[in-house]
């Protein structure tokens, strides 16, 4: 989920979140969205600092393509945020006549191999981009998964 309309962590909110996270045995992560107001490294790390102060175990989902939308270098973002990242959305983007569009793993603006090398192998990840239809989807995902694992 994204930060949404986050205004701060009150004691009441922290207690309710602790109850929910314990009751449902989930790990909550906050994803960088495509806006500077809710997706910049500074904003997200300030949120993580508040969460830690409230003793909340909340991590970040690092969407590799979303930083391009807010003119933030994803490599700088990775270095600033890596200690709080607990999940990665692997997505690449490219420039097109109508703006930024999703692209293939190695055909976009982000050097995905280099970017992913900044995170420990133990951080779970998923591939998030258009990869065809029908059997093509499965084949593309398997091929990209193998490619990523070989890095």
d(CA 144, CA 86): 21
Unique residue bearing structure tokens 């983007």: 93
Looking at residue 30, the DSSP 8-state letter turns out to be E
CB 149 within 8 A of CB 113: no
pLDDT digits (tens, 9 = 90+) for 117-139: 999 999 999 988 666 667 777 88
Give residue 20's pLDDT band: very low, low, confident or very high (50, 70, 90). very high
pLDDT digits (tens, 9 = 90+) for 94-110: 999 999 999 988 889 99
d(CA 15, CA 88): 27
Nearest to 129 by CA among 150, 102, 106, 149: 102
d(CA 24, CA 77): 30
Domains of the chain in sequence order: 11-150 (3.20.20.150)
Task: Provide the whole-model pTM.
Answer: 0.89
CB 66 within 8 A of CB 34: yes
């Amino acid at each position: 989920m994204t930060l949404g309309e986050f205004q701060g962590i009150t004691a009441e909110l922290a207690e309710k979140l602790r109850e929910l996270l314990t009751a449902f045995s989930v790990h909550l992560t906050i994803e960088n969205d495509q806006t500077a107001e809710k997706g910049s490294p500074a904003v997200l790390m300030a949120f993580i600092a508040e969460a830690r102060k409230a003793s909340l175990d909340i991590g970040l989902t690092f969407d590799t393509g979303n930083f391009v939308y807010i003119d933030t270098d994803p490599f700088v973002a990775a270095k600033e945020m890596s200690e709080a990242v607990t999940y990665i959305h692997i997505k690449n983007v490219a420039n097109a006549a109508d703006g930024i569009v999703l692209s293939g793993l190695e055909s976009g603006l982000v050097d995905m191999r280099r970017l992913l090398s900044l995170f420990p192998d133990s951080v779970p990840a998923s591939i998030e981009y258009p990869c065809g239809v029908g059997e093509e989807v499965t084949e593309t995902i398997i091929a990209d998964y193998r490619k990523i694992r070989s890095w």
